[in-house]
Amino acid sequence: MHANKLILTAMALTAGLHGAALAQDPAPPPAGGSILAWTPAQQRYGYRNMEKVTPVHVVPRGAQVKELPLADRQLDPKWTWNGAPQTLDSFMTAMDTSAVVVLQDGKIVLERYGLDRKPDERWTSFSVAKSVTATLVGAAIKDGRIKSLDDAVTAYIPELKGSAYEGVSVRQLLTMTSGVKWNEDYTDLNSDVAKAGVTPGEPGMNPIVSYMRKLPREAEPGSKFVYKTGETDLAGILVSNAVGKSLSAYLSEKIWAPYGMEQDAIWVDDAAGHERGGCCMSMTARDYARLGQFMLEGGKAGGQDVLPPGWVADATRAHQAFPPGGVETGYGYFWWIIPDGYAAEGIFGQQIFVYPAEKLVIAVNSAWPAASKDELWAAQAAFAQAVRAAAK
């Protein structure tokens, strides 16, 4: 897992926390603090209750819920990790896991909760939201609101004209290859990821757009992969500009309601009150699994194609290949490519694994003690492989 996947909460909570501690609840850090500094108790409360610590949009569910029937055979994976035998219980305890939901052929073959979480409680997604934003780009193309991935980003965000984003395509935005210089180092208070969400914008302009249009170019568009949270926020703004409605309304219309999600979701706002394309939806564990199932089924909801023909295959192939030895083998359209499948990933252990050949979806929510460490991602990948083995 790349260090640049870490997200400074100064962006995630740009609207600020509400100052005083919430009565009888573990208090998040004061305004301007970082989610990365939350104590375990604050994580367990805050990840369930993001709407109580920062402004959000609601993503309404529909009238019907897509049933997830219980399969006749339930999985009980057992495996060895670092020389020690592992079970689901030992994994969830060691990894501070709040939920695991596994679907095969659209049926629940494993469902377990931890950290006192209940099945109807939502949990924040962190960067899993990026994969949702990319999927909404596909929906906007299907609707004719975005003409092509080869369109210029500036056609949809005209404030970027004359900036380093001049000549950058929507496709290059989705593959993190814009060539625009960006520093995602969350430990550096002068990094772009630290400053983009808190730097005041120009009057009448989204502050993220205002910040991004001042960045320099370091490479030709399409030539260099650099993970940039700010660009996923741009992608969200691009979608809402193209379709003429909020991301939450569009997600509800295209996927959340017609596919049959069981609960309303919430989506954290930026300082301008626009949902952050790069971070922080909250949904139930079963709805995380339903998102994976939606992709596995080719992007259909309510009997209709939500995405263009071939979109899922194109979005989940390696447009950027990574050196061997890591958990991920490449990057698609805000989806991480893994051996035999693809994944949506968020810091502190949020993940949706999709393995098409086995018709398998694995949703995991966690409250890791660290935002991102190679050994944590590797341990979670080993769990996914154990589930695959048990499902055969």
- DSSP string covering 345-374, please? EETTTEEEEEEGGGTEEEEEEE--SSS--H
Helices assigned H by DSSP within the chain: 9-12, 40-46, 88-94, 128-142, 170-174, 192-195, 207-212, 229-243, 247-251, 257-259, 285-296, 311-315, 374-391
CA distance 115 to 366: 9
Burial 341-368 (b: 16+ CB within 10 A, else e): bbbbbbbbbbbbbbbbebbbbbbbbbbb
pLDDT of res. 198:
74
pLDDT of res. 33:
39
Question: What is the phi-psi region of residue 382: left when phi exceeds 0, alpha when psi lies from -120 to 50, beta otherwise?
Answer: alpha
Q: Residue 19: which pLDDT band, with cuts at 50, 70 and 90? A: very low
Structural domain including 345 reads 3-15+39-68+98-391
pLDDT of res. 10:
37
Task: Establish if 73 belongs to a structural domain.
Answer: no
Task: Establish if 117 belongs to a structural domain.
Answer: yes
**Cβ contact 142:362 at 8 Å:** no
Query: Average pLDDT, whole number, for the chain?
Result: 91
Task: Establish if 201 belongs to a structural domain.
Answer: yes
- Residue range 36-48: average pLDDT? 88
Residue 218's CB: how many other CB atoms inside 10 A? 14
Q: Residue 187: which pLDDT band, with cuts at 50, 70 and 90? A: low
pLDDT of res. 29:
44
- Residue range 135-160: average pLDDT? 98
pLDDT of res. 200:
83
Statement: residue 86 has pLDDT above 80: yes
Q: Residue 371: which pLDDT band, with cuts at 50, 70 and 90? A: confident
Question: pTM for the full model?
Answer: 0.92
CA 156 to chain centre: 22
Rounding to the nearest 10 degrees, give the CA dihedral for residues 223, 134, 156, 159: -70
**Cβ contact 372:381 at 8 Å:** no
pLDDT of res. 3:
40
pLDDT of res. 14:
37
Helices assigned H by DSSP within 165-310: 170-174, 192-195, 207-212, 229-243, 247-251, 257-259, 285-296
Task: Establish if 23 belongs to a structural domain.
Answer: no
CA 233 to chain centre: 11
- Residue range 263-269: average pLDDT? 96
Q: What is the pLDDT of residues 192-244, one digit of tens each?
A: 887 887 788 889 899 999 999 999 999 999 999 999 999 999 999 999 999 99
pLDDT of res. 26:
58
Task: Establish if 91 belongs to a structural domain.
Answer: no
**Residue in this structure with the two tokens 């030709």, named with its chain if needed:** 220
pLDDT of res. 8:
40
pLDDT of res. 6:
40
Statement: residue 40 has pLDDT above 60: yes
132 closest CA partner among 255, 253, 230, 237:
255
Statement: residue 385 has pLDDT above 60: yes
Statement: residue 310 has pLDDT above 50: yes
- Residue range 57-81: average pLDDT? 97
CA distance 12 to 35: 8
Query: Which helix (DSSP H) or strand (DSSP E) does residue 267 occupy?
Result: strand 265-268
Task: Establish if 186 belongs to a structural domain.
Answer: yes
The angle at the Cα of 72, spanning 68 to 73, to the nearest 5 degrees, equals 105
Burial of 326 (0-12, 13-18, 19+ CB in 10 A): middle
Instruction: State whether the Cα torsion 53-57-61-67 is positive or negative.
Output: negative
pLDDT of res. 186:
67
Looking at residue 145, its amino acid is R
| CATH for 239 | 3.40.710.10
Q: Residue 24: which pLDDT band, with cuts at 50, 70 and 90? A: low
**Cβ contact 238:333 at 8 Å:** no
Statement: residue 11 has pLDDT above 50: no
Residue 31's CB: how many other CB atoms inside 10 A? 11
- Residue range 322-350: average pLDDT? 96
Task: Establish if 103 belongs to a structural domain.
Answer: yes
**Cβ contact 180:215 at 8 Å:** yes
Task: Establish if 30 belongs to a structural domain.
Answer: no
Report how many domains make up the chain: 1
Q: Give the lowest-confidence range in 149-163, 200-214, 343-357.
A: 200-214
